[in-house]
């Protein structure tokens, strides 16, 4: 998401956790589709594991990863391809760690 849209629109810190859930709001993900999506992304990287998770809602507040959502497979492919093709520079981490380490 950062590679395509830059810094997130807001962050949520459940239980005042150090690492927030990052939110991008009203983003057009597909060229031939005018649907605007809101994406909440989280993840963790340690020496033992790396994981990423997303929650996606459309502009009608429909859960886009539900079994019945017609564009579910396209969204899964979008995020899978994004993970496979991440930029290798540290721009995201520079912005992210500045935000995480900033006084709250």
For the entire predicted model, the pTM comes to: 0.88
Give the pLDDT of residue 55. Answer: 97
Higher pLDDT, 88 or 9: 9
Helix (H) or strand (E) holding 12: strand 10-12
Report the domain count for the chain. 1
Number of H helices, E strands in the chain: 3, 4
Confidence of residue 89 (pLDDT cuts 50, 70, 90): confident
Q: Residue 52's domain spans which residues?
A: 2-101
* Dihedral-angle region of residue 76 (phi above 0 means left; psi in -120 to 50 means alpha; beta otherwise): alpha
CA angle, residues 88, 92, 97, in degrees to nearest 5: 130
pLDDT, tens digit, for every residue of 41-83?
998 888 998 888 999 999 999 999 999 999 999 999 999 998 8
Residue 17's pLDDT band (cuts 50, 70, 90): confident
């Amino acid at each position: 998401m950062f590679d395509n849209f830059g810094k997130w629109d807001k962050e949520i810190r459940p239980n005042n956790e150090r690492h927030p859930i990052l939110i991008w709001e009203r983003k057009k993900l597909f060229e031939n589709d005018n649907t605007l999506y809101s994406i909440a992304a989280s993840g963790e990287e340690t020496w033992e594991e790396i994981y990423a998770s997303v929650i996606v809602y459309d502009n009608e507040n429909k859960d886009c990863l539900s079994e019945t959502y017609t564009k579910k497979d396209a969204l899964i492919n979008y995020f899978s391809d994004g993970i496979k093709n991440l930029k290798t520079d540290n721009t995201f981490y520079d912005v992210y760690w500045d935000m995480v380490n900033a006084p709250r």
